[in-house]
Structure 1
Amino acid sequence: MQTGENDQAMRKILDMTRLISIFILLLHFYVVCYGAFAGWHLVSGLTDRLLGNVVKTGLLSSFLKPKFLALAFLAIALIGVKGKKDEKQTWKTAVLYLLVGLLVYLASWLVLQVKLTMAVAASLYMGVTGLGYLLMLSGGTMVSKIIRDKLSGDIFNRDQETFPQEERLLENEFSVNLPAKYVLKGKVRDGWINFINLFRALIVLGSPGSGKSYFIIRHVITQHIRKGFAMFVYDFKMPDLAVIAYNTWLKYKHVYKVTPKFFSINFDDLSRSNRCNPLDPSAMLDLTDAVESARTILLGLNREWIKRQGDFFVESPINFLTAIIWYLRKYDNGEFCTLPHVIELMQADYDSLFTLLSTQKEIDVLINPFISAYKRDAVEQLEGQIASAKITMARIASPQLYYVLSGNEFTLDINNPQEPKIVCMGNNPQKIQIYGAVLSLFTNRLLKIINQKDKLKCSLVFDEFPTLTTDIIPTISTGRSNLIATTLGIQDASQLRKDYGREQADVIMNIVGNMAVGQVSGDTAKSVSEKIGRIMQERESLSINRSDTSISRSKQLEAAVPASRISALSSGEFVGMVADNPDCKIELKAFHSEIVNDHAALKKEIDGYVPLPEVRKINAAIVERNYLQIRQDIRDIIELEMERLLNDPELSHLVIRKTA
């Protein structure tokens, strides 16, 4: 405890120490310059006797010994000096004074080597030595005035915003483990980002160029294939991720109990694309499957409808498309139940179309409003209900899409233990709206098929997820028990809200257990900062007034990673949280690390990749022939069904004729 008496006693001790230093230096001057003092008549018998006694102690036995002893007492005196703080004082100035003073203090003996009169030499020696002494005294006093604080050394508060992170490698048969390095109190340490439970889903956020694919998503693909996962990859920029998946499959397909097959969907390169029917009748078990498929495709082609679900002119086209899908599912045991056949049947004239649909009793409730409007001659209402669906679906009526969607080379049950698959589906940034709608249909059908018991563990990887209109929430919520790991790549939460609506976007963001976030800003950065939480940080405050300077230190809870820090993350630098397991607890779930990629090894690996295989030789004539065959199939169905109904008296009443 500091009191006035203690401070006064300390000052007296320091003053005494400084006086001893000066006294020893004066004795040294008296001995070295004794001849000059004698010439100045400043000696006496008494002082000589006292000096003789001092000499006997050995204090003045050498030239430098008393100078060093005086310097030592001066240093002791300076250690305890408490000068008034001055924010203008710097270490550079203080050290300069000390070094120059020490140099002058020790080099003053050179004066005695110059041939001068005894009086002049003595005067110069004492003056130079005294100057060096005073410079050191001034430098030491300056040191005591320097404000010792951390405010100017860490202006961005980086050291205080560091926290301990997981340094253990925690691996299991489902995990994805990323080596990383992080900073703790100014020191770089090695750590691991352990996604040991991706069945609780992983969301990867980051603006373009932040490193989502290169630092995280590619490792999810490679490590999961290496551990025997079935896999679905949505590759927004085909074939970037598809090539990684294919080459990893080539390298590790032997680790599976049943060797999986590799398939890809690529609408831009038909020679490297497999054919698959998303409306496969074997997987469409009841009318609800048709409803989901119709909703997915129409909402994918009309993104603004997502926020208007429930409106009459949104639900009517969905019901109309559902009826057509279910009709083709039931007709001839689903032989013509493909999306191209659905599109072509929609274009039929109303007499024929409504007649065919009315033969299926299960869809009566769906088509009755349309037939009633048609019979009442409510043309505006009918066109408002149907035309939007017909016009929308016509966007994907291209021979290339027809070719891919009308085949059935594989089914979407990728996690079938007897027939595991690795499926890559590619989009094209220039054709997002068209391809995205079709791929959304694929993914929705796939999610419904794979989310079942007793299936193989599987991994779903969605790059640029908002470009799809996929209801991923049920899979994230219930897929954990069925060993479905989901990875979503998103640029920003606002992008998700734009395409899915605020409510659905918030649900997706909040139910995901694992989170890795690169550079994002705005509300997303604030939300992520809040999720990571707060840590105890030291704070300093500096107060300077005329009489005193005070520095106060305190501790308080502050954001571990502020939103401003998230907005300034470098490529490859991520913050986030990991989820753990009951049998493997992780105390340090939060991370703020730079993921360590072996760039040279990855470049060598990428250079060795082989391109996706060519599935078949194909030309424009084959594609065009398939397109014409689908149109002919629909004409044949209409003609055969109309003929059958007209020739059967019991069914002829179903034929709809609207007179002009």
Structure 2
Amino acid sequence: MRRGQLRDYRGCGCLALLLLLFGMALFPVLVHQAPKVAGGVVLAVGGLFVCIASYGLCRFSRYILERVSRFGQGLRADRHPYSLELATTRGPIRLYNPFRGILVVGAAGSGKSESIALPLMRGFAQKGYTGVLYDFKFPSLTGDMYSLLAARQNPLPHYFLNFHDPLRSYRVNPLHPRYLPHTGYAREYATAIVSNLMRESIRRPDFWTRSATDLLTACIWYLRSEHPEMCDLPHVLALVTSPDEALLKTLKQNEQCAQMTVSILGALERGAENQVSGVVGTLQGAIAQINTPEICYLFGGDDFSLDINDPENPIVLSLGSHPSLAGTYAPLCSLVITVATRLMNQPGKHHSFLLLDEGPTLFIPHLDLLPNTARSNRVATVFMCQDLAQMVDMYGTEKADVLSAALNTHFYGRVSSSKTARFMSEQFGRYDQVYTTSSASRNWRQWLGGNEGKSETVQERDRIRASAFLRFPVGRFAGIAVESNMTEFNAQFRVPARPPQVPLPQPTAEGDMLEYYRRVRREVNSLLVAVDAPQETEPGKRAGQDPASRFRLDV
């Protein structure tokens, strides 16, 4: 219901109430004057009848207006089947085209999750969106998403990754050969891992980080080409952490992998062992953060496909991070999201969403290009952060500006940074404020005379002051919306009731995590032995020593 229609309804109600009160007051007066005025009773009854008829007419008009309004809303819903709605004290905000991208900025406790994320998730569930949800405080938003989907008549399958407790999580293989059609994908996925493990490489990539990315790309592609049955993250991590010489000689067996690591292989042939150790050690030291039995177990299965918006098998995926281990889980979440978005951003797919709660805790390669390129493919990108400075810190000034501009609809809540508050204020522009000054002067000798004058000055004033964003209450947001019923807004958002909570399912654990971790190491050792075992006795080899032992790690 639009605000103009709401005023019409209120006008009808007020008019009916006034007529009713007038009739009640007129009736006893006319009855009292009936003996003096001929036909007083008739007039009284007639006046009361007019009041009742007027009241009924107003009620009937309101009924007609409501029906017309509902019919109009139905037409608009047909024109905008993917629209989302958020309730405010000044009326609903309808985003007719959420694929234009949404940016939500608000400090901790400003109401981002309750006032913005939850209504958007409700709309995604009601409109049948598939998508990916990054839940920074698992299972806060994941539980709501699962409950909202369960309330639908035909709910979409919902999978989640619980990094904090892998035995109560689904398992996925983001490096499955079907996600690696050519080497460009392998490099993209390697970049997602290395950039989150070595944050300094995002802004200032150097020889060591570039070489580490090349080496990881070669390891992924080697397993993809030579041993596709072992192409998963646990085997890649085990291969990376193999002894230097064994690793490089293994990769050299594949022509493409040899080209990827040509600089490292050249250093090895020249005897520059320090350079080789520096490159391999850089990658191995970073990989050690995620090379654990728990993570290997989680990424060693394949319970669902990352083709999230496949029209034949649409799903919703939630990634559960944890504030105390956000740095450890960031490379893994980024890898999964990178794989998923590459598959989502294709024509002819189901409409979908990507909602990133605390988005700056992840580095996703080319995320600044996703909102613009995925718009035509019906992918709605929602990026939530506490402050714009976080985006700059993670992506750099240029990419942060590009990402902010690519997300066309902005919601600004309370912030703690005066710099961010000034930026927000500038988005709404200024208006001209006219000030009128009156002056008068009189001479005591000529008290009947004098001069009077008026002057006007025009000054520019911020439409929303920067200081206002520092004092916004919880749930109040101002912003700019494209393709919406409100191009600008500054309102208190209504907090919707949470859906009836449905407990998350408990996937069945398969096997022992530590035993799986050891088995992966043994399988990778067998690859190194098969490729690199020398055919004749080497000088200096002790009697009875296995010639391939120097290529293996003990398990």
Task: Give the TM interval when normalised to the shorter protein.
Answer: 0.7 to 0.9
Question: Residue 611 of structure 1 aligns with which residue?
Answer: 503
Are positions 1:494 and 2:389 aligned together?
Answer: yes
Q: Partners in 2 of 1:409 and 1:614 — Cα distance?
A: 13
1:173 corresponds to:
81
**Contact residue 244 and residue 280 of structure 2 kept, 8 A:** no
Counterpart of 1:524, as a letter, is: T
Check whether the contact 2:130–2:352 (CA below 8 A) recurs between aligned residues.
yes
Contact 1:461 1:487 in 2 (8 A): yes
Aligned to 1:568: 471
Contact 2:162 2:168 in 1 (8 A): yes
Q: Which residue of 1 aligns with 2:405?
A: 510
- Identity across the alignment (%): 30
- Corresponding position of 1:479: 374
Residue in structure 2 matched with residue 594 of structure 1 by the alignment: 492
Q: Helix, strand or coil for the counterpart of 1:640?
A: helix
Cα contact 1:281–1:337 (8 A) shared by 2 = yes
Whether contact under 8 Å (2:437, 2:456) holds in the other structure is yes
1:631 aligns with 2:521: yes
- Specify which of 565, 579, 600 is matched with residue 482 of structure 2: 579
| Distance in 1 of aligned mates of 2:260 and 2:189 | 15
Structure whose CA Rg is larger: 1
Distance 1:593 1:454 in 2: 37
TM-superposed CA distance for 1:557, in Å, is 4.3
Separation (CA, whole Å) in 1 of partners of 2:520 and 2:403: 39
Match of 1:263 among 148, 159, 180: 159
CA 1:534–1:331 in 2, change beyond 3 Å: closer, same or farther?
Answer: same
Q: 2:126 corresponds to which letter in structure 1?
A: R
Q: Give the distance between the partners of 2:260 and 2:384, measured in 1 at CA.
A: 37
* Alignment pair present for 1:380 and 2:274: yes
Aligned to 1:33: none
**Equivalent AA in structure 1 for residue 529 of structure 2:** E
- Other-structure match for 1:353: 247
Superimposed CA distance per residue, residues 82-132 of structure 1 (whole angstroms, 9 cap, x where no aligned partner) = xxxxxxxxxxxxxxxxxxxxxxxxxxxxxxxxxxxxxxxxxxxxxxxxxxx
In the alignment, is residue 282 of structure 1 matched against residue 178 of structure 2?
yes
For 1:243-392, list aligned pairs within 5 A: 243-252=143-152, 254=154, 260-309=156-205, 311-332=206-227, 334-392=228-286
* Separation in 2, partners of 1:612, 1:545: 80
Unaligned runs of 5+ in 2: 1-71, 444-450, 537-547
Residue 199 of structure 2 aligns with an amino acid whose one-letter code is: R
* 2:478–2:489 CA contact under 8 A, matched in 1: yes
How big is the shift at 1:279?
A: 0.9
Give me the whole-angstrom Cα distance separating, in 1, the residues matched to 2:439 and 2:405: 44
How far, CA to CA, are the matches of 1:543 and 1:296 in structure 2? 69
Q: Which runs of 5+ in 1 are unaligned?
A: 1-167, 182-189, 648-654
More RCO (CA 8 Å, sep 6+): 2
Q: Distance in 1 between matches of 2:404 and 2:528?
A: 47
Determine helix, strand or coil for the equivalent of 2:490. strand
Structure 2 length-normalised TM: 0.77
Q: C-alpha displacement at 1:594, in angstroms? A: 0.7
Q: Residues 125-159 of structure 1, C-alpha deviation per residue, up to 9 Å, x if partnerless?
A: xxxxxxxxxxxxxxxxxxxxxxxxxxxxxxxxxxx
Contact in 1 for aligned 2:244/2:277 (Cα 8 Å): no
Greater Cα shift, 621-630 or 272-281: 621-630
SS at match of 2:230: coil
How far 1:272 sits from its partner (Å)?
2.7
How far apart in 2 are the matches of 1:320 and 1:360?
13
Does structure 1 retain, via aligned residues, the 8 Å contact 2:369–2:403? no
Measured in 1, the distance between the counterparts of 2:325 and 2:426 equals 37
What's 1:222 paired with?
122
Change (3 A) 1:617 1:277: closer
**Structure 1: distance between partners of 2:279 and 2:183:** 20
SS at match of 1:241: helix
Alpha-carbon distance, 1:541 to partner: 5.5
Q: CA deviation at 1:535?
A: 3.3
Shift of 1:539: 3.9
Name the residue aligned to 2:311: 417
1:191 aligned partner: 91
Residue 399 of structure 1 corresponds to 293
CA RMSD of aligned residues (A): 2.5
338-347 or 206-215, which moves further after superposition? 338-347
- Secondary structure (helix, strand or coil) at the match of 1:177 reads strand
CA distance in 1, matches of 2:347, 2:91: 36
Deviation at 1:639, TM superposition (A): 2.1
**Structure 1 residue 628: deviation in Å?**
1.2
Counterpart contact for 1:253–1:260, Cα < 8 Å: no
1:211 counterpart = 2:111: yes
Q: Match for 2:136: what amino acid?
A: F
Instruction: Please give the alpha-carbon distance, in whole angstroms, between the structure 1 residues aligned to 2:265 and 2:167.
Output: 43
Amino acid at match of 1:478: T
